[in-house]
Structure 1
Amino acid sequence: MRTDIDNWSPLSVIEIKEVFAHIPSMWGIAGGWALDLHLGKKSREHSDIDVVIFREEQQVVYQSLKVDWILYKAEAGKLKPWKDGEYLESTNDIWVSKNEDSPWTFQIMLIDSENNDWIYRREKSIKKGKNEIFQWTNNGTPYIKPEVQLLYKAGSKQVREKDFKDFQTILPLLLPKEMEWLKLSLKKQFPEGHSWIGFL
């Protein structure tokens, strides 16, 4: 078990693309970096870098990464080694480093799907086609679409200040259909209301 959660030296977006280029699975940059890729420039400092994969492809990714990396599953506030052959049914967060003592380099988020649809785990009635949650930069780097990433940020237990700032930064770039999708999704997850809905 590791406890050095602040010991980060994240890979760059280019390095992440190199790591995942030859893994036969769908993946994309997530988090604040996904929004900056959509923006086309770096809007703020990022302390880490996140990658999403679909849960059913976890073993393909694990087998490809285990040669050069050590993977840890984040469960109940603890980081424990992810063992070879272990299928993660409910764990959503994987931390990756070169060895047991080296800094963390990236996180993998496991996202759920059903048939050919991505399923939003916090409100399972919210769905999109698997291909519909990704967008690509001009050089072919996949990333989570901004309206989907903003839903993850808005839908967490605690909306951080940086998440709201990310929302304000990206909002002017959202297309009307993207704004409408985000608004409807927030209303589904938060029928009692959400502070971001008024901006949409």
Structure 2
Amino acid sequence: MRTDIYNWMPISVSEVCAIFSEMPVKWCIAGGWALDLHVGQQSRPHADVDVILLRGEQLTAYQHLTPEWKLYKAEDGKLSDWEEGEFLATTQDIWVSKDSNSPWAFQIMFIDTEQDYWIYRREKAIRRPLQDCIATTTEGIPYLKPEIQLLYKGGSSGIRDKDQTDFLTVLPTLRPPAREWLKVSLKRQFPEGHAWVEYIDKHEDPKRG
């Protein structure tokens, strides 16, 4: 078990792409880097690189990543070895390093699907065709669509300063359907209200009028 949770030296997005483009799995960049890929430039520093994989394809990814990389399950604030052949039914995050003493290089996050639909784990009524969840840069880098990434950020237990910054940076770049989808999804998860919904309502795109 490792406890050096702050020992990060993330590899670059291009290096991540070189690793995963060789795998027969569906994947994409997530987190703050996904939003920057959408915007087209880096908007702030990033402490790590997040990669999304389908839960059902985890063992294929495991076989392609090992033994070059060492994989750890991140659960309940603890990091433990992901053993060969172990199917992770509920684990959400995997931290990856070169060996047991190396800094963390990137993070894998599993998403759940059902009949080619992505399912939002915090509110399972929110789902979307998997093919409509991933966008691609002109360089061919796949990334999680910004409205979905913002839902993950806004739907967490506490909105961090960087999440608020990302929201304010990215919202003006969203097309009306994406902006509406984010608002409706936040309303479904938070029927009692959400600050981002109020902000969107106050800053509706005048072109929609």
TM-score, normalised via structure 2 length: 0.95
Q: Which amino acid aligns with 1:48?
A: D
- After superposition, residues 31-42 of structure 1 pair within 5 angstroms as 31-42=31-42
Corresponding residue number in structure 2 for 1:46: 46
Aligned-pair distance for 1:198? 1.3
Determine the C-alpha separation between the residues in 2 that align with 1:48 and 1:168: 21
Aligned-pair distance for 1:199? 1.9
Corresponding residue number in structure 2 for 1:185: 185
Corresponding residue number in structure 1 for 2:12: 12
- Number of aligned residues: 200
Corresponding residue number in structure 2 for 1:144: 144
How large is the RMSD of aligned CA atoms in angstroms? 0.5
Based on CA coordinates, which of the two structures has the bigger radius of gyration? 2
Corresponding residue number in structure 2 for 1:197: 197
Aligned-pair distance for 1:75? 1.1
Q: For 1:90-149, what per-residue CA distance to the aligned partner results, in whole angstroms no more than 9, with x for missing partners?
A: 000000000000000000000000011000000001011111110000011000000000
For residue 149 of structure 2, give the secondary structure of its aligned residue in structure 1. helix
- After superposition, residues 60-99 of structure 1 pair within 5 angstroms as 60-99=60-99
Q: Which amino acid aligns with 2:116?
A: N
Q: Which runs of 5+ in 1 are unaligned?
A: none
1:163 pairs with 2:160: no
Corresponding residue number in structure 1 for 2:135: 135
Determine the C-alpha separation between the residues in 2 that align with 1:132 and 1:67: 33
Aligned-pair distance for 1:67? 2.4
1:119 pairs with 2:119: yes
Corresponding residue number in structure 2 for 1:3: 3
Q: Which amino acid aligns with 1:4?
A: D
Determine the C-alpha separation between the residues in 2 that align with 1:183 and 1:3: 38
For residue 87 of structure 2, give the secondary structure of its aligned residue in structure 1. coil
Query: How high is the sequence identity, in percent, across the aligned residues?
Result: 56
Q: Which runs of 5+ in 2 are unaligned?
A: 201-209
For residue 14 of structure 1, give the secondary structure of its aligned residue in structure 2. helix
Determine the C-alpha separation between the residues in 1 that align with 2:75 and 2:43: 31
The 4+ residue runs of structure 1 with deviation greater than 4 A are none
Corresponding residue number in structure 1 for 2:28: 28
TM-score, normalised via structure 1 length: 0.99
